[in-house]
Chain A
Amino acid sequence: MTNVITVPPSLDDYSFEQVLEQVAPLPADAKLLVDARHARWASPYGLTALLTLAQTRSERPTLAVPELEDTLSYWSRAAFFQHAESVYDLHGQYPKRRDTGESNVLLEITPIAKSDDVHNIVGRVQERAQQIIKTELKLDPKAIIGFAMTLSEVCQNVMEHAGQGGWVAVQSYRWTKRLGRRVVVIAVCDAGVGFRRSLESAPGHLPSARWDDAAALEEAVIRGVSRFRDRSRGQGLAGARNYVGRWQGKLSVRSGTARISIVPSWDDEIPLAEGLAPFPGAQVQVIIPEAIAAGGSPER
């Protein structure tokens, strides 16, 4: 029997939870048809998480591609289908060749597996990020290098801790629905071991009385704890946290059944969400918004 998983029309980090809630009761080898026919929009998180979802299944799932031409075109520009072909059986018509025309995709979906990939990713994003951060987000040029550093560190997190490859995508867009401002967004998703199991593998690890995915995320993201004894480790996410704090951005890290967020004043998400539908690995999102002028509206 095939289980139909409905992809919401607008797919982002929030609405992806609806996908996971549908998948959660099913065994890993259950046959899935991920129905994205009515999808109209997807964030970088939504697209990379969809690829990651397929990697968590022991039975190769089927994906029914979006019906809307614009959506197909955008997902194609983001290189979604190119990678989806390797993890899904795709059902429906979609562009076979990636449309590389002008778009707000800073970095199309790109696999991360080794150090060279991170060099490539940072090198490719740097020039365009410079232009977007300065001219569209109106941020101080100092934000540019921090953005590249943050991107590098969140990608390395996959290499160091996932135990398998992951996906990254970077995009800039006007976030009308939630913020009414332009944002640049980094999404990094993997289906690896996740934070709790990674920290449990540390030599001499002693779980606290309340040891679960949420506690592991607090350790890693807030206290900079790593599975390595070397106290140099664990600086990457701490650096990303400082960066988003400095530029009024948002960092969210989901792993297992919990999500921890560094929440800026413009957002109302709870800092620690527990009891979510289980999802292996780690999913990281960084959002850097356009600067606001003293009067309260985006700078012009």
Chain B
Amino acid sequence: MMNHIDISSVLRQTLACDLYSNLVTRSTGAAVRDQIEMLLGESHDRGVVLTVIDFSQVSMIDFSCADEVVAKLLMRYASDDPPQDAYFLFRGVSGDHWDAIEAVLERHGLALAVEDSGNVQVVGVLSDDERRAWDATYRLRRAEAMEVAIAIGTSVESAECALEALRRRRLVMCVDGQYVAVGSPRE
């Protein structure tokens, strides 16, 4: 199933104020993340959940807030003991948001899937193998490790290793024994 979370709505609810569209301060970021986790928790019983995190209506985000809203969210759900099997697709991330988001991804060695004009790409910190495996999986839409290995010209073991790393990082999902890239058109 797919959730859609409009960050500006969450921000307004969090601050109980319609005046602000800026994601600033660490405490605001932590409150917004709590709210996102609460919304995710409501779909806890529905298996694999893909959630669109929508920044379209957010004017700006500072480093501290990006750390709370983006980095800590990704780290929590990519940990060894995640609260649920959740995946994230980021939408509406503009150049105005990118500096702060890029900085926190680099600091923590994280990556995320971002949708732009209908296309999805992964950004942040990935190894070359992970990036090539993700690109191939996205192109193939739904694939087994062997198909990905053929597409990128590597061994099945190497492809599987990269795909499993991507799965742990919440960048590909495993559906009925096949890998599906987050944001792939079939989802």
Whether a CB of chain A sits under 8 angstroms from the CB of B24 is yes
Beyond A123-B20, A232-B71, A232-B72, whether A152 also contacts B107 by CB under 8 A is no
Inside 8 A of A146's CB, which chain B residues have their CB? 99
Is A123 touching B19 in the complex (CB atoms < 8 A)?
yes
Q: How far is the CA of A123 from the CA of B25 in the complex (A)?
A: 13
Q: How far is the CA of A153 from the CA of B65 in the complex (A)?
A: 10
Across the interface, name the chain A residue whose C-beta is closest to B27: A115
New contact pairs (5) apart from A123-B20, A145-B60, CB-CB < 8 Å: A126-B22, A126-B59, A232-B67, A232-B71, A239-B63
Inside 8 A of B156's CB, which chain A residues have their CB? none
Residue of A142, A156, A159, A242 with most partner-chain B CB within 10 A: A156
Is A149 touching B100 in the complex (CB atoms < 8 A)?
yes
Whether a CB of chain B sits under 8 angstroms from the CB of A160 is yes
Q: How far is the CA of A153 from the CA of B23 in the complex (A)?
A: 12
Closest CB-CB distance, A239 to chain B, in whole Å?
A: 4
Inside 8 A of B67's CB, which chain A residues have their CB? 232, 235
Beyond A119-B28, A153-B62, whether A232 also contacts B22 by CB under 8 A is no
Is B60 touching A149 in the complex (CB atoms < 8 A)?
yes
Residue in A119, A148, A152, A235 whose beta carbon sits within 8 Å of that of B15 in the complex: A119
Beyond A115-B27, A145-B96, A152-B24, whether A232 also contacts B60 by CB under 8 A is no
Q: How far is the CA of A156 from the CA of B96 in the complex (A)?
A: 20
Mark interface residues in B66-77 (1 if CB within 8 Å of A CB, else 0): 011001100000
Is B60 touching A148 in the complex (CB atoms < 8 A)?
yes
Across the interface, name the chain B residue whose C-beta is closest to A243: B99
Q: How far is the CA of A152 from the CA of B100 in the complex (A)?
A: 12
Whether a CB of chain A sits under 8 angstroms from the CB of B103 is yes
Is B103 touching A118 in the complex (CB atoms < 8 A)?
no
Is A156 touching B19 in the complex (CB atoms < 8 A)?
no
Is B26 touching A156 in the complex (CB atoms < 8 A)?
yes
Q: Which residues in chain A, 139-161, are within 8 Å of chain B measured between CB atoms?
A: 142, 145-146, 148-149, 152-153, 156, 159-160
Where the two chains meet, the residues of B that have a C-beta atom closer than 8 Å to any C-beta of A are 15, 17, 19-20, 22, 24-28, 59-64, 67-68, 71-72, 95-96, 99-100, 103-104, 107-108
Interface of chain A: mostly helix, strand, loop or mixed:
helix
Is B22 touching A153 in the complex (CB atoms < 8 A)?
no
Q: How many interface residues does A have (CB within 8 Å)?
A: 24
Inside 8 A of B27's CB, which chain A residues have their CB? 115
Is B103 touching A239 in the complex (CB atoms < 8 A)?
yes
Q: How far is the CA of A235 from the CA of B99 in the complex (A)?
A: 12
Residue of B25, B27, B68 with most partner-chain A CB within 10 A: B25
Across the interface, name the chain B residue whose C-beta is closest to A142: B95
Q: How far is the CA of A152 from the CA of B61 in the complex (A)?
A: 10
Is B63 touching A235 in the complex (CB atoms < 8 A)?
yes
Q: How far is the CA of A149 from the CA of B65 in the complex (A)?
A: 10
The 9 closest A-B pairs by CB, nearest first: A152-B62, A152-B24, A239-B63, A115-B25, A235-B63, A149-B62, A232-B67, A145-B96, A115-B27
Q: How far is the CA of A115 from the CA of B23 in the complex (A)?
A: 11
Closest CB-CB distance, A165 to chain B, in whole Å?
A: 15
Residue of B20, B64, B103 with most partner-chain A CB within 10 A: B64
Is B99 touching A232 in the complex (CB atoms < 8 A)?
no
